[in-house]
Amino acid sequence: MQYFVRRQWDLQQREHTPPSVFENRQAHRRDFLKQMGLSAAGIGLASSVAGCAKPTDEEIEAAGDVGWLPKEYAEKYPAKQNETFEYGRSETAQRAAAEYTNFYEFSSSKDCWRNVSKFNPSPWSIEVDGLCGKPRTFDLDDIYNLFPLEERAYRHRCVETWAMCVPWTGFPFAELLKLVEPKPKAKFVAIESFVRPKEAPAMGDDSFPWPYTEGLTVDEAMNDMAFLATGVYGEALPKQHGAPLRLVVPWKYGFKSIKSPTRITLTERQPLTFWNGLKPNEYGFTANVEPEVPHPRWSQATEWMLGTRKEHDSVIYNGYGEQVGGLYA
Ligand code: MTE
């Protein structure tokens, strides 16, 4: 007989429960409280005590606030909307995206915004090295001065089946890579996030192989869809979305879109990455959205939207086949 032992990095069961169960969650909660012998008055009281009340939009916004410097950059360098990109669905509400994030350095539950207060994403720098002619370190000044910003309406699909449609502000990853002049021998980019256990409480959990790491082939990284985002919804990136900048590769499952990178290394060999290293049979290195290929523990055929819980059929390469299909032909 096979026993399933839940490890730290396995998804919690509730994260892939069908959306219909969540729709009924108020009812379930009432039933649960009734079973516990609590009356209607008790239910009201339970909702209003600290930690049970629904946070306000202002509380969530204040928690993710990145401080004056990144905000000043975001205001000084407004982004031009790139009209080539459309969601084909409704835009996700800003709050719905901000209160449901994956950022394991802060928490393995979705309300990471509650744990980001000590994170200080400015000043920030990214070192780019390895197989390139002009290795270089970029600080935020360089990033905002060197790369004209645009806004792109992108879909995002998490391997856990939730999805969102958000307007990222940023610039193509290729523009940064071109400046360091990758050598022909470079076949992959290895990307590494920060190590700041004093600012990111969940980094104290040493069952994870910190820092968070990800990687792409050089061809994928040079594709115009691969985007480095400095903002979202027309504002500086809130901490929980990966301040002060993060990768966005919308044809791949969301874990590839690494937040808050500090180092990018051009290499000849495929790098070991966070999730792929932990569970290679569940989280492949390539990790393109492929509805026909189920995750070993759930189907990838459909997805549900943050905020509305509306369900959609998933699409190969998350619908970006025209832009990236050639990479895999
Ligand atoms: N980057 C870092 N550094 N740490 C993380 O835990 N989670 C990934 C990715 N980038 C993660 C990360 C996962 S699993 C997803 S789905 C996306 O970020 C989620 O992006 P969002 O939370 O901004 O929606």
Gap from CA of 71 to ligand 1 centroid (Å): 22
Task: Quote the number of domains for the chain.
Answer: 1
Q: Contact, 131 vs 190, CB < 8 A?
A: no
Rounded to two decimals, the pTM is 0.87
Q: Is residue 36 part of a domain?
A: no
The pLDDT assigned to 53 comes to: 81
Q: Is residue 15 part of a domain?
A: no
Give the mean model confidence (pLDDT) for residues 92-108.
98
Distance CA 138, CA 126 (A): 5
Gap from CA of 260 to ligand 1 centroid (Å): 10
Q: Give the 3-state DSSP-derived string for 198-227, with helices as H, strands as E and coil as C.
A: CCCHHHHCCCCCCCCEEEEEHHHHHCCCCE
pLDDT class for 52, splitting at 50, 70, 90? low
Both tokens assigned to 152: 């792109």
Q: Is residue 237 part of a domain?
A: yes
The CATH number of the domain holding residue 290 is 3.90.420.10
Minimum CA distance residue for ligand 1 atom 23 = 241
- Least-confidence region, from 31-40, 51-60, 229-238: 31-40
- Domain, as residue range, for 229: 46-328
Q: Is residue 235 part of a domain?
A: yes
By percentage, how much of the chain surpasses pLDDT 70? 84
Distance CA 284, CA 274 (A): 11
Q: Contact, 193 vs 212, CB < 8 A?
A: yes
Residues 66-83: tens digit of each pLDDT: 999 999 999 999 999 999
- List pocket residues of ligand 1, CB cut-off 6 Å: 101-105, 158, 193, 212, 241-242, 254-255, 257-260
**Contacting residues for 261 by C-beta, under 8 A, at least 6 apart:** 126, 191, 192, 193, 194, 245, 246, 247
Q: Is residue 249 part of a domain?
A: yes
Gap from CA of 142 to ligand 1 centroid (Å): 24
Q: Is residue 226 part of a domain?
A: yes
- On the question of pLDDT at 42 being above 70, the answer is no
Q: Is residue 24 part of a domain?
A: no
**Residue 103 CA, closest ligand 1 atom number:** 6
Q: Is residue 6 part of a domain?
A: no
